[in-house]
């Protein structure tokens, strides 16, 4: 029994610790209610109504006339105050953002309860209850801007103090979620790997370069908030900026959307330096759907996005010249000769007796240990110590009898030169080989208003595959396929005690 009690206590402590380690995805609204003389009105009933879901929260003002809604989900609200002997007060269009703190003071007039004073909230709401600095970018602003790849991380630089410059000594990652921008930016001069990224309050930082490992479908994002300074202690894991993405939840009405964005070779011009037009096809498609499972109680929201790319941009590579392929390496002979007599391991000399014997058998003439493979004055195979006219390969010509069979068989895969580089060296340019990318991401969210509190569950899955035909180096067609998967499961419960204290229990699983 004692062991069980300790186990239960440990579990409770664990979940309490989890809850405090994640960012808030709710906002607060508070204020003071007074009469016309400025006297506090205790016992006033204050109701906050979510205009989309119909969920209500009710509190009473205390002896000082103070009220507070400490955990309101993101959305638009109507706040109503009623008290016997006073006109009712109602303010609509109050926008609550993640981690926001709004103050709405009310002055009630003496009158009948049947009279209601209606006020429409100001679109620009100034937060006076917190010192943190940050910007909220909402869904409509995100989807109205043309984004190549549809990633919210491309909008981080809209915030003052955020520099889009990346790939410095921090080593920004090469791309996530279908090769999208991982968001490694400098905030207020900080390091690019010092920023925190969260989705619905859960940490989604990439463990290698500390960028965003999970990038949800743009149409599924309700808003994201960038906190650049004076953030609360709950963000203590990161010294840079904090980026918190909040996804959409269902409402009392069914809503859905569908989209496709495409680019096609037929709409592109030919690269000026390429004899052919490289293939470029990109299709980004998907949709969202959300609605009620039980009106005013349980809601769902689901989304999907697929991305398919075929990119055949012109690539140029240095290749062997026709003379090189025949064994005449006179154009590269300088790289074979190391005149430094103090070099303890000269690469231009035959290194062992076994190698010298093997070369002698292949070439049909004597090769000695420590004999140079080539030297500028070499015109003969006859060599002795100190000789400047003899070497293994006179005139930097390697007979085919000395070629390794594996190397000789590989030469057929190396394309012939079809152009010259800036220094006149042979180059091969082609747009015939295309890089292909496939990325599929889907997510689902369920929100429920229960007697225990506000419950939400979120699941995200992203699978992508990239086939790079040039991953093997300078030989087109010897590519490689890279696949990756990112998963996130987020479960949270927010309860409000009689003292109006907020308790958040949250479990997040993320793998990338």
Of 124-128, 179-183, 359-363, which one has max mean pLDDT?
359-363
* Model confidence band, residue 388 (pLDDT cutoffs 50, 70, 90): confident
Check whether 145 has a pLDDT greater than 60: yes
Residue range 141-158: average pLDDT? 86
Nearest to 212 by CA among 229, 225, 199, 231: 199
pLDDT for res 26: 85
Pairing of strands 66-73, 162-163: unpaired
Residue range 68-89: average pLDDT? 91
Check whether 132 has a pLDDT greater than 80: no
Cα–Cα distance for residue pair 97/79, rounded to 1 Å: 15
For residue 221, the SS3 value is: strand
- Those residues whose C-beta lies under 8 Å from the C-beta of residue 146, and which sit 6 or more positions away, are none
pLDDT for res 10: 44
Looking at beta carbons, which pairs linking 111-118 to residues 24 or more positions away fall under 8 Å? 111/85, 111/86, 111/87, 112/87, 113/82, 113/84, 113/85, 113/86, 113/87, 113/88, 115/87, 115/88, 116/87, 116/88, 116/89, 116/90, 117/87, 117/88, 117/89, 117/90, 118/90, 118/91, 118/92
Q: Which helix (H) or strand (E) holds 462?
A: strand 453-468
pLDDT for res 41: 93
Strand partners of residue 326: none
For residue 28, the SS3 value is: strand
For residue 20, the SS3 value is: helix
**Residue written as token pair 């030169």:** 417
* Least trusted range by pLDDT, from 69-83, 122-136, 379-393: 122-136
Cα–Cα distance for residue pair 177/465, rounded to 1 Å: 10
pLDDT digits (tens, 9 = 90+) for 272-301: 766 677 788 899 999 999 999 999 999 999
* Model confidence band, residue 434 (pLDDT cutoffs 50, 70, 90): confident
For residue 56, the SS3 value is: strand
Residue range 151-173: average pLDDT? 69
pLDDT digits (tens, 9 = 90+) for 37-61: 899 999 999 999 999 999 999 999 9
Check whether 18 has a pLDDT greater than 60: no
pLDDT digits (tens, 9 = 90+) for 318-374: 888 888 888 898 888 776 676 666 666 667 888 899 999 999 999 999 999 988 888
Angle at 399 between CA 394 and CA 400, to 5 degrees: 165
- Those residues whose C-beta lies under 8 Å from the C-beta of residue 161, and which sit 6 or more positions away, are 187, 188, 228, 229
Cα–Cα distance for residue pair 122/79, rounded to 1 Å: 13
Cα–Cα distance for residue pair 325/322, rounded to 1 Å: 5
Structure tokens at 271: 């690269």
pLDDT for res 21: 42
Looking at beta carbons, which pairs linking 414-421 to residues 24 or more positions away fall under 8 Å? 414/319, 414/320, 414/325, 414/475, 415/319, 415/475, 415/476, 416/319, 416/322, 416/325, 417/319, 417/320, 417/321, 417/322, 419/316, 421/316, 421/318
Structure tokens at 400: 């085919």
Cα–Cα distance for residue pair 69/411, rounded to 1 Å: 74
Summarize the chain as % helix, strand, coil (round to 5).
Answer: 15, 40, 45
Structure tokens at 454: 């506000």
* Model confidence band, residue 20 (pLDDT cutoffs 50, 70, 90): very low
Contact predicate 92/99, CB 8 Å: no
Between 32 and 383, the more confident residue is 32
For residue 154, the SS3 value is: helix
Cα–Cα distance for residue pair 399/409, rounded to 1 Å: 15
Q: What percent of the chain has pLDDT over 70?
A: 82
407 φ/ψ angles, rounded to the nearest 5 degrees: -65, -40
pLDDT digits (tens, 9 = 90+) for 191-203: 888 888 999 988 8
Residue range 218-225: average pLDDT? 92
pLDDT for res 293: 95
Check whether 389 has a pLDDT greater than 80: yes
Task: Please give the biggest Cα pair distance in the chain.
Answer: 120
pLDDT for res 230: 63
Residue range 166-180: average pLDDT? 55
Structure tokens at 54: 């119909």
pLDDT for res 215: 92
pLDDT digits (tens, 9 = 90+) for 230-278: 666 666 677 788 899 999 999 999 999 999 998 888 887 777 766 677 7
Note the pTM of the prediction, 2 decimals: 0.74
């Amino acid at each position: 029994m004692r062991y069980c009690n300790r186990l239960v206590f440990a579990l409770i402590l664990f979940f309490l610790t989890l809850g405090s380690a994640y960012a808030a995805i709710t906002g607060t609204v508070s204020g003071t209610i007074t009469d016309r003389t400025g006297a506090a009105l205790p016992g006033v009933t204050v109701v906050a109504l979510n205009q989309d879901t119909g969920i209500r929260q009710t509190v009473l003002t205390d002896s000082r006339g103070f009220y507070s809604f400490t955990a309101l989900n993101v959305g638009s609200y109507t706040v109503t105050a009623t008290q016997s002997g006073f006109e009712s007060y109602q303010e609509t269009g109050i926008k609550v953002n993640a981690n926001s703190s709004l103050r709405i003071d009310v002055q009630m007039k003496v009158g009948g309860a049947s009279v209601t004073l209606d006020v429409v909230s100001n679109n620009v709401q100034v937060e006076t209850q917190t010192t943190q600095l940050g910007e909220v970018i909402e869904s409509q602003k995100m989807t109205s801007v043309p984004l190549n790849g549809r990633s919210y991380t491309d909008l981080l630089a809209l915030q003052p103090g955020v520099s889009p410059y990346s790939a410095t000594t921090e080593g920004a990652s090469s791309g996530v979620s279908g090769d999208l921008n991982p968001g490694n930016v400098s905030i207020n001069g900080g390091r690019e790997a010092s920023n925190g990224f969260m989705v619905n309050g859960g940490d989604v930082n990439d463990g290698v370069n500390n960028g965003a490992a999970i990038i949800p479908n743009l149409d599924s994002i309700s808003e994201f908030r960038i906190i650049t300074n004076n953030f609360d202690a709950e963000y203590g894991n990161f010294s840079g900026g904090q980026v918190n993405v909040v996804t959409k939840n269902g409402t009392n009405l069914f809503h859905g959307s569908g989209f496709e964005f495409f680019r096609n070779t037929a709409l592109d011009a030919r690269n000026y330096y390429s004899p052919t037009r490289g293939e470029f096809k990109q299709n980004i498609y998907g949709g969202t759907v959300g609605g009620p499972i039980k009106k005013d109680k349980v809601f769902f929201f689901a989304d999907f996005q697929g991305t398919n790319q075929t990119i055949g941009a012109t690539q140029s590579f240095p290749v062997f010249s026709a003379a090189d392929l025949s064994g005449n390496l006179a154009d590269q002979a300088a790289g074979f000769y190391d005149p430094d007599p103090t070099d303890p391991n000269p690469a231009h000399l035959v290194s062992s007796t076994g190698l010298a014997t093997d070369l002698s058998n292949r070439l049909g003439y004597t090769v000695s240990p420590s004999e140079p493979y080539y030297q500028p004055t070499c015109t003969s195979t006859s060599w002795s110590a100190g000789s400047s006219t003899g070497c293994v390969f006179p005139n930097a010509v390697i007979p085919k009898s000395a070629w390794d069979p594996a190397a000789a068989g590989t030469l057929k895969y190396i394309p012939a030169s079809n152009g010259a580089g800036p220094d006149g060296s042979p180059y091969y340019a082609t747009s015939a080989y295309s890089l292909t990318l496939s990325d599929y991401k889907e997510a689902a969210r369920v929100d429920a208003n229960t007697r225990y509190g506000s419950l939400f569950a979120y699941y995200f899955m992203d699978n992508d595959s990239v086939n790079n035909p040039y991953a093997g180096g300078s030989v087109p067609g010897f590519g490689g396929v890279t696949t990756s998967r990112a998963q996130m499961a987020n479960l949270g419960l927010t309860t409000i005690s009689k003292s109006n204290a907020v308790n958040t229990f949250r479990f997040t699983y993320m793998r990338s």
